[in-house]
Amino acid sequence: MKHKSNLETHEIKSESGISVELLNLGARISSIKLPTLNGHRDIVLSYPNLSAYQIDPYYLGAICGRYAGRIRNGRFALNGRSFSLDRDASAGPHALHGGPIGLSKKIWKRIKEDSINKANLKVFSPDGDQGFPGNLSAKVKYELVDPDRLLIDFSATTDSPSIINLVSHVYFNLDGKVTNISNHSVQINAQEYTVQDETLLPTGEIRLVEGTPFDLRESSMLGRKLEELRNLTGDHGFDQNYVLKKGEDGLTLAATLTSASADLTLMVYTDQPGLQLYTGQHLAEPFHPFAGVCLETQAFPDAPNQPSFPSAILLPGETYSKRTLLKFKWN
């Protein structure tokens, strides 16, 4: 469906009754509706009108890139060349989520698809865009797989060595209209996390979660963990990268999120090495702080400047290919 200002929405549906609304601006997920006993429940945060997405500061439901997360002072070196990235002053000293006009701010083009359960979107980012090297062609495929799954497949190619980290920045609230996710329970399959400084940039150190508020190996009430974090560090919410405990090749169960009433569960699977837990503490009007939680499967923040982190380099002739699977379970 077309709207003013080149905004276009598109809905995909499954036979089991799940529907997902997509927006071409940032290839965003603007709605995921699940068929519950009390009717359809929308489990992601969205704006009441489409025009608000054009001034959205929260990356609501968007695909972030070329490099999601922070890169130290917006600088990195690759193959003996130094690159300086565009930075958004409101994001602090580092480059964040691909720059002020990253992929989340661009109009993605929908590739015609005959199936009602899948959608493909693509975007082109020219050499030098936001300071990144190489002409980059990126795609995201959303596919509902009956009865209870949403696949998110990322792919990209470049004609010059570059870096890449494409991330889905959906804010989940499994209770629907409830304005706070503190009563959700979360479990993250990680024994370690990347230590970060006061600017939320990884220092390079990887530490065990045991004995810290970051220990979410067992399902825990978010509100209790938020209080634990606040008492120990003074931080008023999580914005933390976890080192996922990988299984064999293929997808690993990264995180499980359960609604306050325990009638709905989301399981996040991925082939990525990291997961960012963000509890939405900086959300403001028309939302409330802690109105949604992000579970962002990703490469590590600042990996281009941390040789010990898993590589986020993409070379000509290679295809960047990453997958995230959302599995829903409802009573």
The alpha carbon dihedral of 211, 213, 217, 219 has a sign of positive
| Residue 230 host element (H or E) | helix 222-233
For residue 5, what pLDDT is reported? 65
The length of the chain, given as a count of residues: 331
How far apart are the C-alpha atoms of 170 and 189, rounded to whole Å?
Answer: 19
Residue 79 and residue 65: Cα distance in Å, rounded?
21
Per-10-residue mean pLDDT of the chain, 331 residues long, equals 75 96 98 90 95 96 98 96 93 94 97 93 98 98 97 98 98 90 97 96 97 97 96 92 86 96 95 98 95 98 97 98 96 72
pTM for the predicted model, two decimal places: 0.96
| CA distances, 55 to each of 6, 47, 50, 58, 96 (Å) | 14, 11, 10, 9, 17
Structure token digits, residue 245: 């405990």
With tokens 């209870």, the residue in question is 148
- At residue 330, the pLDDT reads 87
Residue 265 identity = T
Place of tokens 């959700």: 184
pLDDT at 248: 67
Please state which of the four CATH numbers 3.30.750.24, 3.90.1300.10, 1.10.287.90, 2.70.98.10 is assigned to the domain occupying 4-180+275-330.
2.70.98.10
pLDDT for 251 equals 95
Under DSSP, the state recorded for 233 is H
The angle subtended at Cα 94 by Cα 103 and Cα 231, nearest 5°, is 110
Mind listing the pLDDT tens digit for each residue in 216-252? 999 999 999 999 999 988 889 999 999 998 876 789 9
Q: Rounded to an integer, what distance in angstroms lies between the CA atom of residue 143 and that of residue 25?
A: 18
Per residue, what are the HEC states of 260-305?
Answer: CCCCEEEEEEECCCEEEEECCCCCCCCCCCCCCEEEEEECCCCHHH
Measured in whole angstroms, the distance separating CA 21 from the mean position of its chain's CA atoms is: 17
Phi-psi region of 99 (alpha: psi -120 to 50; beta: other; left: phi over 0): left
What are the structural domain ranges in the chain? 4-180+275-330
Strand partners, 193: 207, 242
**Active site positions, annotated:** 169, 296
